[in-house]
């Protein structure tokens, strides 16, 4: 909705209207300013942002995507950059620094104040995709022996630079996490009560080396605003907030979607990924799947397909496609169930799924088979080809559905992302097995590979 202001901004840039650009920073919500600045070039965006107050710059900057942030960083002078890094939220700052060239980071760090520098080095040291790498160190914490009234006074001092003050963590002298309070509970308490009387002692926390997806799912499951992150000795080291959790869940969903379509997950958005990266992330799968297709061609060779009746070839793509379609459906559903429903693989559940797929694909295969019987009969005017095509469709749909369900379960039990069992991969497997089924059914119905003697 703010896009309407884009022409105004472009005019200011053309006229080099510094006063106007300064007002642009101040007058709008940071998110709105960011939205409009994304529409101009990074150079133009930086011309505007360099005129903003540093606080406002930090707020707007937080709404940009990482690739755009990196482009801006390369345009900044060292003074702006060091101020920006000091003021940014610690988790966003680490995300940004991880994207920069390590040499560049080492040259920037001396510009940053001592306290932030230690924090940056520590957060950078946690392994990628761990709770430690996504947490922020700006949490609100209080000791247990103060009163509610004192708590409010201390929170008032902590408020300006904490990510959230609505969840308050109670720690002892050694920073051990011993309790938890919501702001709501604090507001409802009497001013003279001690925090130790009203705090919840059983705190749900995550370990600093926990996988980020598990952390995000916990925040989502419990409906938390944030979850505390602790080290081996239960010392509070940070928090992960709900908005970061949402971003992680969206990223994971997008990764799954890309894997399902046989693309190695991209780190950036489609339009900001370079052609070479796209070629690599797609090429690796295209070659692998081509290998599977060569196998199908090799198998077809044995059936001397070229010497078969025309109808047998006519319906070859149809029977293979039926299998591919059915397999892609069951794979997608089972993969979503494994990812989303926190499906813990017990023997019983796996069997239940395979049972369902067997029953369901028998129903679907039988009806799709009947329709293809009619189609084959109409196109060839003969009964026996129709019998071959429809029986094959039935068998291939059942085989593909069960394989589409079984393979994700299998790789999941080997602790591999089930989304690697992509639609094209299932289709490639169906091609190989489908060809064998098809020619063998034809042999059974005709007693020979039509129209030749064995």
Task: Identify residues 12-51 at the interface with a second copy (CB under 8 A).
Answer: 29, 31
* Binding of residue 271 to a second copy (CB under 8 A): yes
| Binding segment toward a second copy, per CB under 8 A, in 49-57, 97-105, 114-122, 254-262 | 254-262
In whole angstroms, how close is the CB of 175 to a second copy at the nearest point?
24
Residues in 371-390 that interact with a second copy by CB under 8 A: 371-372, 375-376, 379
What gap in Å lies between CA 417 and CA 211, rounded to an integer? 14
Residues in 187-206 that interact with a second copy by CB under 8 A: 187-188, 202, 204
DSSP 183-210: HHHHHHS-TTSBHHHHSBSS---EETTS
Torsion angle (degrees, nearest 10) of CA 170, 173, 176, 177: 0
* Of residues 4, 47, 46, 50, the one with CA closest to residue 28: 4
CB 277 within 8 A of CB 263: no
Which residue, 133 or 325, has its beta carbon nearer to a second copy? 325
Which residue, 114 or 274, has its beta carbon nearer to a second copy? 274
Site string for a second copy, 302-331 (x = CB under 8 A): --xxxxxxxxxxxxxxx-xxx-xxx-xx-x
Angular region, 341: left φ>0, alpha ψ -120 to 50, beta rest: alpha
For 25-33, the CB contacts below 8 A with 24+ separation are: 25/49, 25/51, 25/52, 25/53, 25/56, 25/57, 25/60, 26/52, 26/53, 26/56, 28/2, 30/56, 30/59, 30/60, 30/62, 30/63, 31/63, 32/2, 33/60, 33/63
Binder of a second copy out of 353, 386, 409, 421 (CB under 8 A): 353
CB 320 within 8 A of CB 393: no
In whole angstroms, how close is the CB of 419 to a second copy at the nearest point?
9
In whole angstroms, how close is the CB of 225 to a second copy at the nearest point?
7
3-state secondary structure of 268: coil
What gap in Å lies between CA 90 and CA 120, rounded to an integer? 7
Binder of a second copy out of 117, 175, 356, 384 (CB under 8 A): 356
Residues in 124-153 that interact with a second copy by CB under 8 A: 152
Binder of a second copy out of 221, 351, 413, 447 (CB under 8 A): 221
| Binding segment toward a second copy, per CB under 8 A, in 98-106, 125-133, 142-150, 244-252 | 244-252
Binder of a second copy out of 19, 77, 114, 160 (CB under 8 A): 160
* Binding of residue 89 to a second copy (CB under 8 A): no
In order of 20, 169, 177, the CA distances from 201 in angstroms are 53, 10, 9
Binder of a second copy out of 431, 437, 441, 449 (CB under 8 A): 431
| Binding segment toward a second copy, per CB under 8 A, in 90-98, 279-287, 409-417, 440-448 | 279-287
Q: How many residues bind a second copy (CB under 8 A)?
A: 113
In whole angstroms, how close is the CB of 385 to a second copy at the nearest point?
11
Torsion angle (degrees, nearest 10) of CA 249, 250, 255, 257: 120
* Of residues 280, 198, 279, 259, the one with CA closest to residue 417: 259
* Binding of residue 156 to a second copy (CB under 8 A): yes
Q: How many residues does the chain have?
A: 454
In whole angstroms, how close is the CB of 107 to a second copy at the nearest point?
31
In whole angstroms, how close is the CB of 63 to a second copy at the nearest point?
8
């Amino acid at each position: 909705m703010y896009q309407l202001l884009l022409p105004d901004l472009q005019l200011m840039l053309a006229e080099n209207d510094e006063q106007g650009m300064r007002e642009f920073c101040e007058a709008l919500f940071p998110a709105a300013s960011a939205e409009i600045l994304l529409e101009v070039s990074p150079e133009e965006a930086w011309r505007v942002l360099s005129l903003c107050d540093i606080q406002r710059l930090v707020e707007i900057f937080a709404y940009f995507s990482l690739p755009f942030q990196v482009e801006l960083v390369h345009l900044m002078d060292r003074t702006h950059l060091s101020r920006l890094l000091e003021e940014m939220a610690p988790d966003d700052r680490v995300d940004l620094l991880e994207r920069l060239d390590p040499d560049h980071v080492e040259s920037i760090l001396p510009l940053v104040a001592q306290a932030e520098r230690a924090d940056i080095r520590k957060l950078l040291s946690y392994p990628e995709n761990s709770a430690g790498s996504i947490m922020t160190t700006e949490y609100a914490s209080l000791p247990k022996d103060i009163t509610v009234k004192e708590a409010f006074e201390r929170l008032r001092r902590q408020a300006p630079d904490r990510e959230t003050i609505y969840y308050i963590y109670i720690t002892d002298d050694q920073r051990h996490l011993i309790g938890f309070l919501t702001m709501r509970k604090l507001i409802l308490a009497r001013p003279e009560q001690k925090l130790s009387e009203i705090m919840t002692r059983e705190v749900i926390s995550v370990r600093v080396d926990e996988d980020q997806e598990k952390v995000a799912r916990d925040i989502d499951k419990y409906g938390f605003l944030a979850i505390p992150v602790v080290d081996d000795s239960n010392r509070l080291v940070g928090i992960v907030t709900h908005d970061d959790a949402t971003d992680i869940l969206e990223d994971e969903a997008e990764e799954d979607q890309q894997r399902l379509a046989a693309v190695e997950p991209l780190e950036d958005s489609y339009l900001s990924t370079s052609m070479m990266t796209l070629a690599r992330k797609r090429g690796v799968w295209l070659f692998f799947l081509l290998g599977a297709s060569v196998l199908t061609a090799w198998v077809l060779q044995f059936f001397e397909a070229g010497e078969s009746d025309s109808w047998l070839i006519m319906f070859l793509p149809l029977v293979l496609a039926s299998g591919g379609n059915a397999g892609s459906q069951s794979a997608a559903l089972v993969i979503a169930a494994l990812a989303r429903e926190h499906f813990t693989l017990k023997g019983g559940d796996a069997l239940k799924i395979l049972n369902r797929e067997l029953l369901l694909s028998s129903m679907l295969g039988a009806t799709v088979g009947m329709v293809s019987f009619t189609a084959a009969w109409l196109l060839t005017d003969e009964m026996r080809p129709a019998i071959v095509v429809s029986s094959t469709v039935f068998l291939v749909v059942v085989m593909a559905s069960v394989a589409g369900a079984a393979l994700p379960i299998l790789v999941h039990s080997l602790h591999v992302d089930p989304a690697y069992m992509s639609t094209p991969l299932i289709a490639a497997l169906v091609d190989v097995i489908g060809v064998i089924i098809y020619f063998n059914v034809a042999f059974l119905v005709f007693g020979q590979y039509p129209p030749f003697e064995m």
